Structure 1
């Protein structure tokens, strides 16, 4: 059933079936959780050129003015991206610790962390195109935390729906660009 090895291969000798099934179940749950938490950051990495172009075009259509050329070079952009990933990992780790320390808090803390990081991921695109460092991006997001959290919640829910999640990434970039343009006005 679970990829049993051939008789005499020696890989199943002395290992109880219950332990094998438990280990495989834990591995499956771990890989599903890993996929859940890595989907959006990985999609952002691979779709970064499209996301930036989409954000620039959306801003141009809405305001009639192109974004000023950002002063961040490749090295600085990579450093800012790594800072963002580390920040998000810290948030997710804190939610995980809360879930382990106090299980009734686990699910709500995990959902709130996912909503926040989802909103942060999408709002990072128009703010990065503007050439802002992470500290400035977080300042803008925290000053408008209700809007940011509401937007993150809407996009988070749309990412949970199969097929709809395929258009959620570009729609989220457009929405976050329009939101950031509105906040600037």
Structure 2
């Protein structure tokens, strides 16, 4: 077992990425990767098309000399798209990939521990897994939304809003840890509250893993590959931290 310190997130994520090269794991990576790539291209194409229409309408409503300002709008649009895609696409992609991520977490655990205590993969088993994984994803959403709303309100309070930005980042890092470590926890039928308590007992290690995951998922296209790597890394986290 690698002697990872408390700030062990990068090590787990790096090993998780290496594990994805195993032949027995490729199916659970390639299928959601293909689905999410199509979704990503569709969202970007739709957003670009709608922005172009809006820009044409804006140009027709203002004097000609203002049309020169359009070159300023495109960089702002790209920046906005990066933010929207991170928060919206990541959430949608994780919901779509949830059943595959559950199976991926199972197979990674088998590779790491050498013990196969899970049902063999079948499409029937995958379909039966959908209601449970969807329910768990909705539970994550229910945890996220009221806290995110509270941070939005905080952002509009003069004086207090100075702490809103670092709190947003800290909360996003914590949610990344919850999002991915929950897959192996759910495979072992650990309840939501018990899972949160387990994470809190390893708070710094969780924040380390969530922090590096948060950073790599901010990178468009790279995030498509790093999502399954985060599942594999989170499973390594689960197995080794429980052994400790």
Q: Which TM-score band applies after superposition, normalised by the shorter structure?
A: 0.7 to 0.9
1:179 alignment counterpart: 237
28-37 or 59-68, which moves further after superposition? Answer: 28-37
How far is 1:83 from its partner?
2.0
Structure in which a larger fraction of residues adopt helix? 2
1:126 alignment counterpart: 184
Which of 150, 167, 170 is matched with 1:94 structurally? 150
74-83 or 40-49, which moves further after superposition? Answer: 74-83
Which of 64, 79, 89 is matched with 1:39 structurally? 89
Task: Supply the distance in 1 between the matched residues of 2:164 and 2:112 (Cα, whole angstroms).
Answer: 40
Contact 2:181/2:238 (8 A) holds in 1: yes
1:46–1:74 distance in 2 versus 1, CA, 3 Å: closer
Task: Supply the distance in 1 between the matched residues of 2:118 and 2:88 (Cα, whole angstroms).
Answer: 31
1:132–1:74 distance in 2 versus 1, CA, 3 Å: farther
75-84 or 108-117, which moves further after superposition? Answer: 75-84
Q: Which runs of 4+ in 1 moved over 4 A?
A: 28-34, 72-77
1:151–1:44 distance in 2 versus 1, CA, 3 Å: same
* Residue deviations 1:7-66 (CA, integer Å, cap 9, x gap): 9xxxx7xxxx9xxxxxx9xxx798765543222221111111221121111100111112
Structure 1: 5+ residue stretches without partners: 18-23
1:75–1:56 distance in 2 versus 1, CA, 3 Å: closer
1:60 alignment counterpart: 110
Contact 2:184/2:238 (8 A) holds in 1: yes
Contact 2:99/2:133 (8 A) holds in 1: no
Contact 1:59/1:178 (8 A) holds in 2: yes
TM-score calculated relative to the size of structure 2: 0.59
Aligned residues: CA RMSD: 3.0
Query: Greater relative contact order: 1 or 2 (C-alpha under 8 angstroms, separation 6 or more)?
Result: 2
1:168–1:58 distance in 2 versus 1, CA, 3 Å: same
Which of 141, 144, 148 is matched with 1:85 structurally? 141
How far is 1:76 from its partner?
5.2
TM-score calculated relative to the size of structure 1: 0.76
1:34–1:126 distance in 2 versus 1, CA, 3 Å: same
